[in-house]
Structures are given as structure tokens and as C-alpha cells.
Structure 1
Amino acid sequence: MQEDDARNVQEAILASVVRSSLDCVIVTDEAGLVVEFNPAAEETSGYSRAEAVGRQISELIVPPHLRKAHADGLAAYLAGGVPLVARASHRADCHANTLVSLLQRVLANIEALEQ
């Protein structure tokens, strides 16, 4: 039971971080369907969360002429290949690395509190 409570706390913190992030956070499942779409993504894309969740990510943010390449890349990744992520800039990498670092620190702090 205590593990369930700790997991619920971790999930609530993660959800809060995603919702409050100033950067767009879009999460998809293995089929490329959007499962999470934060307010920054709404602001940037013009789609509401309700409009985005359940739709193909490629319909929302991948230009039509790149959708086949996106689908091929996703299929290769799911088959065990190395993911190829188009990077708009080094700045985008820095933001992603910062978010990952922040999440790792939050989870480490939660684990320390549990002990």
C-alpha cells in the first residue's frame, strides 16, 4: 500500500511538472497517438489538449511532406533501431536535457523522502 501511495505522489509530481512546463511537452504511445499535451503545447500549436489527445502526432506537428519519413523512422525505432530525432536547434536539446535532469532530481528527492 505504501508503494502505491509513493507511486501516486510521483505521478502527481510528474503531471504537475509537465503541466507547468514553459516548454511544449507532447507524449505519444508506440502507435504515435498523443497521450499527453501540456498547456505550452496548446499555446504553441493552437490545438487544445482535448483536440490533440488520441490523434496522430504526425497530423499535428509533422509537415505533410515529412510524414512518410516520420512514419518510417517510428517503425524503425519500434523494430529496435536507433531513434532519429530532428533537432531544430541546440537550444531544444538543452531544454530537453534540463527537463530530464529536473525530473531525475524530483524523483530522487521523492525516493529519499520514502526512506
Structure 2
Amino acid sequence: MAIEADIAANPERAKYKKIPLESIKSALQGSDPASLAMEAFDTNGIEGKPRKVEVAYPQPNQALVTITQNDLVKNSRDTVRYRVELSTFGRTILATSPPMWQIVWVGKRNSNENSAE
């Protein structure tokens, strides 16, 4: 039932296969949402592959990072998209410092998963 509530609150999540946060080997907290998201997947072997990174802030305390990567496997036109959701949980030492972010949800989608066969 928690999964259904997640999808009701975030309908875009239904398009992605959830990745357990425990499987991410990099830091889940930091001051830059894009860097946190990219580091999470650099440990999964996508470093060095061309990718497009987009960051959106749907709410003042939320960040959404989308990483789109074209698969470089020979004869493949597959595109992999990662969705990384983050929320703020405070600031660093100084009040004027940037907010601290924490990854709260991660998902992955292949372009061929949603295509009609």
C-alpha cells in the first residue's frame, strides 16, 4: 500500500523501476542535487558515457534530477533514464550556506520498457 501511496503522490514514479537507496554506494546527502545524483550512478558504471542532466525544483524544499543516458552497447539505441528525488533537511553551519539535500527516492527506466511491441 505504501507503493500505491507513493505513486498517487508522485504519478511520474509509476514509469520507473524503484532502486533501493541501500544499493547506492555514494553519499546520499550533500549541498548540490545534481552532483549527488551523478555520483550515485557513477558507482554503477555509467561514468564516461554521454548523458544529459536536468535539475528541477518543483517545491522550495524539493529537487528532481533526471539523468538521460544513451546506451553505448553496439547496435543498441536504448536510452536509460534515472529519476532522483531529493529533499532539504537543513543547512550547513552558517545560515547563509546553501541548503543540505538528501536523496529520498531513485528510479530507473529504459526507453524500450514503454514502447509497444
Q: TM-score, normalised by structure 2?
A: 0.25
- Bigger radius of gyration among the two: 1
Question: Which protein is richer in strand relative to its size?
Answer: 2
Give TM-score, length-normalised by structure 1.
0.25
Structure holding more helix per residue: 1
For CA contacts below 8 A with separation 6 or more, give which structure has more relative contact order: 2
